[in-house]
Amino acid sequence: MATNIPPHNLREIAAAVKLLIESPESTLDDLLQHVKGPDFPTAGIALVGKEGEQLRHAYGEGHGRVIMHARTVVEESTRAGRTMIVVTELPYQVNKAALIEKIADLVRDKKIEGIADLRDESDRSGMRVVIELKREGQTAQIKNLLYKFTAMRSTFAINMMAIVDGQPRRIGLKRALELWIDHRRVVITRRSEFQLEKARDREHILVGLLRAIDLLDFVIAAIRGADSANHALTLLQGAVELPERVLALIEDRDLSLDDLVEQGAINNPFSFSEVQARAILDMQLRRLAALERQNLQDEYQEVIERIAYLEDLLANPRKIDFLIRDDIQELSDKYGDERRTEIVEADASEFREEDLVAHQESVFTLTRRGYIKRTPLEEFRAQRRGGQGAKGAQVRDEDAIIKLAVCDTHDNLLIFTNRGKVYHLKGFDVPDSRRQAKGVYITNLIEMASDEHVTTILTVRDYERDYLLLATRNGIIKKTPLPEFEEVRRNGKIAMRLDDGDDLIAARLATDASNVLLVSNKGQASRFTIDDLRAASRTSGGVRGMKLPSAGYVVGVETVDDGDALLIITDKGYGKRTLISEYPVHRRGGQGVKTLNITDKTGDVAACRIVREDQELMIVSVDGVMIRTSVDKISLLGRVTQGVTVMRIGEGDKVAAIAAITLSNAAGQDRQLALSAAALALGTSGNGTSPSNGSSAELPEDDSSPDDGVEESPEGDDEDE
């Protein structure tokens, strides 16, 4: 049986005990008004959860945890331009020397960068561990790294186990205090019973001593006339008649027994008990003085009063409770001190990785061979439509970029595969890379099967939307409540049950008010209301959303309103914007209407996206060429037109994916980018050949990023409609 009960503040516990004695019906919340939490001798800071829910759980159930933090202050260094993090208090049971050694190891191993110096300036006035930062060191980030990798942030596991009625039991705070009060009742009762017994014994002896002093001459005569100590003991107990020589001795002293011996009794005035007789024989001669007699009389009176007090105490249990209350108050007054540990009602869960990573809007790309990377968005300059783009990733001849997402490093990436599974990453889980770097293999980050490949990457900031729409290559669609995707493990979960020969290719967020638009590679689009879809569980299959022509497959799904504009991009870089109002609402399952005039010059539809004029568009080709252009530079054309040149595509290259970037202004703040991403898995590889699966995908969501400058290249010529 293991138990781990944290230390507490004596004054707070005393106050809680007093409350429980005076009001036994008090609740846990009432007790927590006095007991703020553990109080560690090393002080520090204790995180007990939002509104103290973790502490309330621990004190209610008898087990839980609190997170202990070192207390730090930030000071300016004597070296110009440098800052110091000074540790003044440590978590409970953390060794200072071991902590300093651990920090030094982390700096040496380059797990924490930005620390220039580390020294211990502690003295008798208190602890002072100084961590001096380099000029470029970020205080908040380094503090979080220290909390993450060292004992400056520790967990105290509360396990309030106790032996109750001979059995180990886990008990909460109220039960623990009740059991302690019960224990004190037993202790005080037993103590009082013991003291009462001793007081009564003393009273009996004092009665004998006082009577012996009253019969002093007779007692002395009896003792002098006794043959031995045992004979004297017997005489004093009145068990035998006084011997003749004792009577003669009494007569010689002119003492009379007539008034002492009761009628019919034996010829002996004494009736002491054995205990009294022994006390008389053991009494020193100095006790015969008048002053000593008064002392005996005073002691007798005190004993009588003590007996009366103890008898009254044992007869009234409530008085025992008040004695417990007074005792602990006395201890509190004598030994209590101020609380040392600061209690903070903040989230006490494990440090999230986002606390260690700065917010940064980034571009995420994935190649067909499975290499994923993250690049700061600011590395890509904006161009006018028709620009040639910049090299965004170094890919091998047999590889191709197939996915693109733009979001904050703190956002969630839901990664869907052709087999209908979903995986989860945080943006910062993907290593930061230079624009032309290859990246890392995605199976180093998620546990995909060998026959799985990514078809959709959806960025999600939170899970408060109503639904997630999932579409397959063969036109099957499903809506599932988004919260079902909030908890996804490293090895993934089933997102949608698929028919044989079908692939999951697209995902979108939706609400109850959404219209759904499915777009095929052959330039058809089907619009219907989301009410046509019944909410289905995560592991179920879908229903037919669109009827496809021969060699047709779905390239994207969008949630739309009449005021929206749909952007269409083709394999060969042609594109246009068309108002959604031009797309009639039909029943689910139809083949839809034409959304783009497909020709050999345009190629098939590669991707679609709902856009606004204040957005910018990022396009990436399978060879890794990227362009960033303004949406308002792309013509707003009719539904059946072929569009204009948006990106000039090189020989053998094709459009791979797009992402829409929304610029927004906030008064008094820096401009930010609210980002949404869409990615497409094309039926091409880097050398222009078709892949075995030929699947496509799209991904979306809005987010934010800092604005960067816009450099424009010459505008391309519009093509005929």
> Mind listing the domains of the chain with CATH numbers?
71-151 (3.30.1360.40), 194-317 (1.10.268.10), 357-678 (2.120.10.90)
Q: Is the pTM of this model over 0.85?
A: no
Query: Residue 20 and residue 6: Cα distance in Å, rounded?
Result: 20
Query: Residue 519 and residue 539: Cα distance in Å, rounded?
Result: 24
Phi then psi for 412, rounded to 5 degrees?
-95, 140
Percentage of the chain surpassing pLDDT 70? 82
pLDDT of residue 427: 85
Query: Residue 607 and residue 698: Cα distance in Å, rounded?
Result: 7
CB 590 within 8 A of CB 546: yes
CB 495 within 8 A of CB 538: yes
CB 158 within 8 A of CB 65: yes
pLDDT of residue 286: 79
The token pair at 166 is 């001979």
460-480 confidence digits (pLDDT tens)? 888 877 899 999 999 999 999
Classified as helix, coil or strand, 200 is helix
Phi then psi for 44, rounded to 5 degrees?
80, -165
User: 695 pLDDT exceeds 50?
Assistant: no
Instruction: Give 423-457 as a DSSP string.
Output: EEEEGGGSPB--TT---EEGGGTS---TT--EEEE
pLDDT of residue 357: 61
Residue that wins the pLDDT comparison between 712 and 631? 631
User: 173 pLDDT exceeds 80?
Assistant: yes
Phi then psi for 542, rounded to 5 degrees?
-115, -165
Give the strands of the sheet with 390-391, arranged side by side.
Answer: 390-391, 625-630, 615-621, 655-664, 672-678
Closest among 375, 445, 384 to 407, alpha carbons compared: 375
User: 84 pLDDT exceeds 90?
Assistant: no
Query: Residue 603 and residue 522: Cα distance in Å, rounded?
Result: 9
Which residues does residue 507 pair with via DSSP β-bridges, in sequence order? 470
- Beta strand 167-170 with 161-164: parallel, antiparallel or unpaired? antiparallel
The token pair at 580 is 């959604």
pLDDT of residue 113: 86
Position 574: which residue type?
Y
443-454 confidence digits (pLDDT tens)? 877 888 888 888
574-584 confidence digits (pLDDT tens)? 999 999 999 99
User: How confident is the model over 703-721, as a mean pLDDT?
Assistant: 35
- Beta strand 440-441 with 655-664: parallel, antiparallel or unpaired? unpaired
The H-or-E segment that residue 505 falls in is strand 504-510
pLDDT of residue 698: 33
Burial of residue 182 (CB within 10 Å: 0-12, 13-18, 19+) is: exposed
85-114 confidence digits (pLDDT tens)? 999 999 999 999 999 999 999 999 989 988
| Banded model confidence at residue 679, pLDDT cuts 50, 70, 90 | very low
Query: Residue 321 and residue 313: Cα distance in Å, rounded?
Result: 10
Which residues does residue 407 pair with via DSSP β-bridges, in sequence order? 362
- Least confident piece of the model among 11-15, 59-63, 605-609: 605-609
Query: Residue 415 and residue 457: Cα distance in Å, rounded?
Result: 5
Residue that wins the pLDDT comparison between 177 and 433? 177
Radius of gyration of the chain measured on its C-alpha atoms: 45
Q: What is the DSSP letter of 648?
A: P
CA distances from 604 to 596, 608, 639, 680 (A): 9, 12, 15, 13
What is the separation of C-alpha 154 from the centre of its chain, rounded to a whole number of angstroms? Answer: 12
Number of H helices, E strands in the chain: 12, 35
Residue that wins the pLDDT comparison between 663 and 657? 657
pLDDT of residue 668: 29
User: 498 pLDDT exceeds 90?
Assistant: yes
Residue that wins the pLDDT comparison between 219 and 687? 219
User: 434 pLDDT exceeds 70?
Assistant: no
- Least confident piece of the model among 72-86, 275-289, 542-556, 680-694: 680-694
CA distances from 564 to 519, 532, 580, 583 (A): 15, 21, 6, 11
Which residues does residue 508 pair with via DSSP β-bridges, in sequence order? 469
| Banded model confidence at residue 82, pLDDT cuts 50, 70, 90 | confident
Query: Residue 465 and residue 481: Cα distance in Å, rounded?
Result: 8
User: 181 pLDDT exceeds 60?
Assistant: yes
pLDDT of residue 444: 73
User: 187 pLDDT exceeds 90?
Assistant: yes
User: How confident is the model over 604-630, as a mean pLDDT?
Assistant: 88
The H-or-E segment that residue 440 falls in is strand 440-441
CB 556 within 8 A of CB 523: no
pLDDT of residue 683: 31
Classified as helix, coil or strand, 132 is strand
Region of 347 on the Ramachandran plot (φ > 0 left; ψ -120 to 50 alpha; else beta): beta
The H-or-E segment that residue 53 falls in is helix 53-61
End-to-end CA distance of the chain: 81
Mean pLDDT (the chain, rounded): 83
The token pair at 411 is 């956002």
Q: How many CA atoms lie within 13 A of 134 on its CB side?
A: 10
User: 707 pLDDT exceeds 80?
Assistant: no
516-532 confidence digits (pLDDT tens)? 999 999 999 999 999 99
pLDDT of residue 677: 35
CA distances from 463 to 428, 468, 489, 659 (A): 18, 10, 16, 21
pLDDT of residue 262: 47
pLDDT of residue 714: 33
User: 21 pLDDT exceeds 90?
Assistant: yes
User: 721 pLDDT exceeds 60?
Assistant: no
